[in-house]
Amino acid sequence: MPEVKIGLSPDAGVDRLLAGLDRYCGIYIGMTGIRLSAADMLELGLVQHDIAAKAISTLLEQLVTLENITPECLECLPKNMPHAKSPPSQFTPEILDWIAEAFCSDSTAKIISQVSDDAKKSNSIANFAKTADESMQAGSPISLCLTHRLLRLEPQKLEATLQRNFIIGQNCFQHGDFYEGVRALLIDKDNAPNWRYESLSEIENQIYDKFLTPILPLLELDITVS
């Protein structure tokens, strides 16, 4: 999810999932936009099962034939399917310890400074920290601050989450870096965005409240899950 690189923050309800992860892993994922493998998703608890692509059609056929779909069925059937063959998760105990220490601060600037310092060390964490540092350096300062503040909050129910996503999205279009981020990454592909702010210190203390002010009327949502 490259939101911070296109002037957005995690949305479509994903912020609700990331905010619920232990040891600040959600903040790490949101601020770096790292790609997650199936093994990573399982390790972090973002998914429950890892099913081989060739087995999905069989699973769907079995679900269709069930007369009474229960939570027990939905838990049991995938366990009997072939699992995807993916490399081990990158989230080893050592990496999880580092994330918990590097991303625990309530200051966006301190997190980025810590990661940058760790990337310069000569230890087993350095390469991982370097990748995280490069990803954040490529992100919009507004989006980095916004994502950090957003993911430090307690997860909300789905309707409240989507309403907040809608409000933040409006402000990213109106006051943020969205258009410049899309231009640099997806249109011109020069990877040289001209962000509104160069320094986190210019925006960190006031960006979150400002981006929670609605510009348009809230959505009328019909949601049946909490």
Q: What is the mean pLDDT of the chain?
A: 89
Of the candidates 30, 63, 85, which is a domain's last residue? Answer: 85
Q: Quote the CA–CA distance of 151 and 159 in Å, as a whole number.
A: 17
pLDDT digits (tens, 9 = 90+) for 150-163: 999 888 889 999 99
**Shortest CA distance to 102 belongs to which of 127, 132, 57, 76?**
132
Q: Quote the CA–CA distance of 147 and 152 in Å, as a whole number.
A: 9
32 and 132 in one domain? yes
Q: What is the pLDDT of residue 79?
A: 81
Residue 170 in contact with residue 216, Cβ under 8 Å? yes
Confidence of residue 226 (pLDDT cuts 50, 70, 90): low
94 and 81 in one domain? no
21 and 57 in one domain? no
Phi-psi region of 69 (alpha: psi -120 to 50; beta: other; left: phi over 0): beta
* Lowest-confidence region among 41-55, 70-84, 119-133: 70-84
Q: What is the CATH number of the domain that holds 162?
A: 3.90.226.10
* Lowest-confidence region among 58-62, 112-116, 163-167: 58-62
58 and 16 in one domain? no
Q: Quote the CA–CA distance of 106 and 149 in Å, as a whole number.
A: 8
Q: Is residue 222 part of a domain?
A: no
* 16: containing domain: 3-40+90-210
Q: Quote the CA–CA distance of 151 and 171 in Å, as a whole number.
A: 17
Domains of the chain: total: 2
